[in-house]
Chains A and B, each alone.
Chain A
Amino acid sequence: MTTLLSDPGVTAPPEVIAPRRRRRLSAGLRVLVGICAVLVAIGAAVPLVAVLATAFAPDALPRYAEFFTSAVDLGILRNTLVLGALVGLFGTALGFLFAFVQTRLDVPGKKILHVIALMPIVSPPFAVATATVVLYGRRGVISNGLFGLEYDIYGLDGLVFVLSLSLFPVAYLGLLGMMRGLDPALEEAAMNMGASRWQIMRRVILPLLAPGLVAPFLLLFVEAIADLANPLVLGGDYTVLASRAYLAVTGEYDTTSAAVYCVILLVPSLAMYFGQRRWLSKKVRTTITGRPSGSIHLITGWSRWPVYGLALLAAAVIVSLYGTVIVGSVTKVFGVDNTLTFEYLEEVLFGVGVEAVLDTLTFAVIATPVAAILGLVIAWLVVRHLRRTAWLLDLGGTLGVAVPGTVLGIGFVLAYRPDRYIGDYLVFPSLVGGSAIAGGAMAIVVAYVVRSVPAGQRTAVGALTQLHPQIEQASTDLGASPMQTFRWVTLPLIRPALLTGLSYSFARSMTSMSTIVLLVTPETKIITSQVLSAASTGRYGVAFAYCTVLTVLVLAAFALIHLIVGGGVALQRTAKSERPKR
C-alpha cells in the first residue's frame, strides 16, 4: 500500500484542540520514578526477558510439545498447582486465625503468640522441613516416639504442612494491619442493628477483609509453587516445576529445558497476579478517614476459647519445630544421641562458618533498607501519583514475587553471566559466576532487594488504600509538596507498613534460597546454601546450628528495627471490659 506523505487534497485541516491540561509530576517525583524504574529493570525485567528469550528460541519450541504430551511432565504441572492452592488456603486460614486472635479476642498471652507467629519467617523453610522429618516423620520423635505412628511425611501432605507453617506469617502480618485499620464504627453499627458476633464476622468483617484475604492467598500460592528447598528435601516422589527446573540447570546443564519449565511455571504465577489485581481494583475499601469514631470491642464470651485453643495448638507445633532446630544444634544427634555439645555452634561462629555468616549479614543489611524504602515508594507512587503508568511500576515491583525465585535465579544466570561488550568496550561486567565482579556479591544483593520489595510494597499499598486521600490532600492544601506530605503525613501513618517492610525484607534476604543458590560463588558464601550442603551431606547438627544463628540474627534485627522505626500509632480507642479512663 502506498502512503502519500503530503497530499493537501486529503489532509483535513488540523483540528483546533485545546492543549490537554495535565499537570506534570514535580521534579522530585520524576527522579523517584526514574530510580524505581531502573532498579526494577535491572533486578527483575532484564532477567525475565533473558529467560523468555531462551525459552522461545527456535531450538526450545519442540520442548513444549514434549511437555504437553508427556504424562510425567503433566503430572509435575498438576502437582505444582495442587500444592499452591492447598498452601494458599491453609496458610491464609492460619494467618487469619492468628490475626483474629490478636485483634479481636480478649485472651492472655497475645504478645507471645505474635512472636511465635513471626518465627517461621526468620528461618529458612529448609530448617522447618528437616525439623519436621525429625519430629513427625516415619521415625519421628513425636509421631513415632510419642504416638507410635509410622507416618510417611514425604510428599504432598508433608509439603503442605511445612509450607503452610513456613509461609503463613505473610498472611498474618497483612491481615493484622488490615484488621487494625478497620473502622470500628462499622462493627458498632452492625452490633447496634442487632447482629451477633458471628454475623458481624460473616457479614461485615470478612467482606471488608476480602481483598485482604485474596492478596495473601495469591502470595502464598506463588511462593509455594516457587519454593525449591522443601520439594528437594521433603518432596519424595512429588516433583514440582521449580525443583524440576533446578535439576535441569544444575544436574543436566540444560538451560533450554530449564527455561521451558520456567515459562510453564510463570504462567500460573502471573495469572494469579493479574487475577488478583483485577479483583482488587473492583473492591477498594477506604476506612481510615481522619475522623476517628468508635471503639474496638474485644470478644469476651465463651466462644473465644475454642478459637484461642486452635491458635495455641498451631503455636505449639511451631514451637516444637523451632525447639528441635535449637536443641538439635546443641546435641550430637537429636532423638538418638542427646548428649550436649557446642561443636556445631563453634564451627559456625568461630570456624569455617563465620565467613558465610558475615557475608550473608552484610548483603542483607545493604539490601534491607533499599528494598523496604523502594517498596514503600513504589506503592505510594502507584496509589497516589501515577495514573496511566501506575500498573507498569506496580507490576515491575511485584515481579520479585510473581516470578518464582528459581526462574529469577536462572534469569540472572542467563542475563548477567557473560560480560557485555559493545564493540571492544565492556559496558556491563559479569555479575554472576566465577569471574563476576565482587565475587557475585552485586548480583546477590540485587536479588535480595528484588525478592524483598514486593512484601513491603503490598503492605504499603494496603495501608495506603485504607488511608483516606483527604488526609493527604489536607496537607497538600496547607502548602506541603508531595514529598513533604509523604514525609510528614503519609509515612507516620503507614509506619506499621514500613516496619513490616523492613522486618520482612531483612528476614527474607537472610533466608532467601531459591534464587541465591544459583548465584553463590566460591568467594561469596551464603548461610542458606551452607545449610543445604550441610544437610545434604547428612550433617544435621551443623545445619541446625546455622539455622539457630540465623534465627538469632534475624530476631536481633527485628528488635533493632522496632527500636529505630517505632511501633504503630493509636488511631482509635480500644474498649475493654473496664470503662475508659476519660
Chain B
Amino acid sequence: MTVAAPAEAAALDPAGRREPSTGRLQLEALTKRFTGRAGVVTAVESVTLDVMPGEFITLLGPSGCGKTTTLRMVAGFEDATSGRILLDGKAIDNMPPQRRPMAMVFQSYALFPHMTVAENISYGLRLQRRTRADIAESMRMAVTSMNLVGLENRSPHELSGGQQQRVALARALVVQPKVLLFDEPLSNLDAKLRDAMRAEIRRIQKMFGITSIYVTHDQDEAMSMSDRIVVMNKGKVEQAATPGEIYARPASVFVADFIGRANFVETVPEGVADGRAMVTVLGRRLSVPAHPTVASGSMDAYLMVRPETVTLSPVTDGGTGMGVVLRSTFHGPSIDYEVETAGGTITVTESGKDSREALVEGTNVDVTIAPDRAYLLNRE
C-alpha cells in the first residue's frame, strides 16, 4: 500500500508531531474543461500553485469558481484536461485516486452507513493490512484526539452532526496521508460548532504537520484557518497570499470585495513611485500604497478603504464638515455608520464604543482615512 510507508509512520516523534518534510504539492497550469450541452465549459483555467509541506491552503471563492473541481482533480476523481499535478516532485496525474497518499473529508461526510464509528475510522488501516495491534493503537490515538471516546460502536446515523464530522476527520487522519483535502466540511454545522471545529481542524493539522487543501466559500473560515488563501473566480486564481496580505493588499477589486467589507472611492493617482501614489480624497492629499499595475493619471483607479480604518469626528463649531451620518447600526462590539460624503456614501465601523456614545443620524462629521491602511487598485 502506498498510503503511508512505514518509514513515515516512524517519523512521528513521541509527541505525535511530524516534521513536515514531505507533502509538497504543485499544480502546474491545471485546466479542466467539460463538454456539456451548451458547448465547452472551462471550469478551471490554468491554475498554478505551489503548496509547501505542512502548509494549510484554502481555495476560496463563490460557488462555481472551480475550487471544488480543482480539489477533485488533486484527489484524482477528475482527470485534468491539461496541466500537471506533482507530489514531492513526482507527477501523479496518472495515479488512480486510491494510490494517491491523500485523504478527503467530504461535505456530506460520506460516512459508510453500514459500519460503526470504529469500522469507519479503521477502514483505511484495514485496507493497508496493518496488524491488529497497530490498528488498535492508531484507533486509540484517533478516537482520543478527536474526542470520540465512547462512541466507537455507534452507527453514523446515531451521531450528531459535529460527531459525524469528527468521525470523517478521524477516518481521513488515521491513514497518515501526505495531503488532507477538505471539501467544505463545515458547511452543514451550526455557527458555534463551526468555530469549534475550525480550531480543532487547525490544531490537528498543525500537530500532524499534514499539507492541507481546504475548499470553502466562507471567507471567515478561510481567514481564520489558512496559512495562505487562494481566491478563485471564474476558474482562475485571482490572488494567492497570506490572509493578512489578501486583506490589506488585495490584487483586484473582486478580491477586495469578496474578502471583508470595502469602500471604493474613485480617484486619479499622481506621482506613482515605489509602490505608493498620491491621491486626493475628500479634499485631502494622501500618500497611499498602490498595486503595481496602477499608473499615474489612470482614470481606472479605485482607492479601497476598509470601514474600520476610517475615523469620524463630530463637527462641533457649527460647520458642515465633510459628511453627514445617514444611518447608524449598533452591533455590540462595533457600530456601523453610513456616511454621505462628496465622494459617495461610505461605510465606517467604529469599535469599542458604548451604544450611548453612538453618533446620532444627521450629525455632521469630519472623515479621516488612515492612508497606510488604504490601497489603490485598478478597476477590472
Contact = CB atoms under 8 A, between A and B. Distances in A.
Contacts of B106: 290, 470, 473-474
A493 B114 contact: yes
Interface residues of A, number: 35
A222 B133 CA distance: 57
A524 interface: no
B75 A477 contact: yes
A423 to B, nearest CB: 46
Interface string A467-498: 01011011111111110110011001100000
Q: Majority SS of interface residues in chain A? A: loop
Given A18-B82, A477-B104, A582-B158, A291 B94 contact: no
Contacts of A290: 106, 108-113, 156
A493 B96 contact: no
A570 B108 CA distance: 19
Interface in A250-304: 288-292
B211 to A, nearest CB: 15
A2 interface: no
A504 to B, nearest CB: 23
A521 interface: no
A569 interface: yes
A579 interface: no
Interface residues of B, number: 41
A297 B311 CA distance: 57
A292 to B, nearest CB: 4
Given A21-B80, A493-B114, A478 B109 contact: no
Nearest to B119: A488
A91 B90 CA distance: 59
Contacts of B82: 18
Nearest to B161: A291
B114 A478 contact: no
B266 interface: no
A30 interface: no
A485 B94 CA distance: 20
Interface string B90-103: 00011011111011
Most chain B beta-carbon contacts within 10 A, residue among A22, A473, A572, A573: A473
A288 B109 CA distance: 12
Nearest to A485: B98
B79 A481 contact: no
A35 interface: no
A480 to B, nearest CB: 5
Contact of A484 (B108, B127, B157, B181): B127
B3 interface: yes
B171 interface: yes
Nearest to B96: A23
B171 to A, nearest CB: 7
A26 interface: yes
Most chain A beta-carbon contacts within 10 A, residue among B75, B79, B110, B124: B110
A571 B111 CA distance: 11
A477 B124 CA distance: 9
B98 A479 contact: yes
Contacts of B188: 291
Given A23-B94, A473-B104, A479 B127 contact: yes
Contacts of B3: 478-479
A20 to B, nearest CB: 9
B97 A476 contact: yes
A478 B122 CA distance: 10
B79 A492 contact: no
A470 B75 contact: no
B264 to A, nearest CB: 40
Nearest to B175: A478
Nearest to B181: A477
Contacts of B171: 474, 478
B108 A291 contact: yes
Contacts of B114: 492-493, 569, 571
B217 to A, nearest CB: 18
B48 interface: no
A569 B109 CA distance: 19
Nearest to A491: B114
B110 A468 contact: yes
Contact of A477 (B93, B103, B157, B158): B103
B164 interface: yes
A481 B98 contact: yes
B34 interface: no
Nearest to A291: B108
Nearest to B4: A479
B265 to A, nearest CB: 45
Nearest to B101: A479
A22 B157 contact: no
A21 B175 contact: no
B77 to A, nearest CB: 6
B263 interface: no
A492 B106 CA distance: 21
A16 to B, nearest CB: 13
B156 to A, nearest CB: 6
Contacts of A569: 113-114
A22 B93 CA distance: 10
Contacts of B341: none
Contact of B79 (A23, A468, A493): A23
Contacts of A288: 113
B128 interface: yes
Given A21-B79, A22-B79, A23-B96, A478 B127 contact: yes
B97 A473 contact: yes
Contact of B157 (A26, A292, A475, A493): A292
Contacts of A489: 112
26 contacts: A21-B93, A26-B96, A288-B113, A289-B108, A290-B110, A290-B111, A290-B156, A292-B113, A471-B110, A471-B111, A471-B113, A473-B75, A473-B97, A473-B106, A474-B106, A476-B97, A477-B75, A479-B98, A479-B124, A479-B128, A480-B98, A480-B127, A493-B114, A569-B113, A570-B155, A582-B158
Interface of A: 18, 21-23, 26, 288-292, 468, 470-471, 473-482, 484-485, 488-489, 492-493, 569-573, 582
Given A477-B103, A482-B98, 11 more contacts: A21-B79, A21-B94, A290-B113, A291-B110, A474-B110, A477-B104, A478-B103, A479-B124, A479-B175, A484-B127, A572-B157
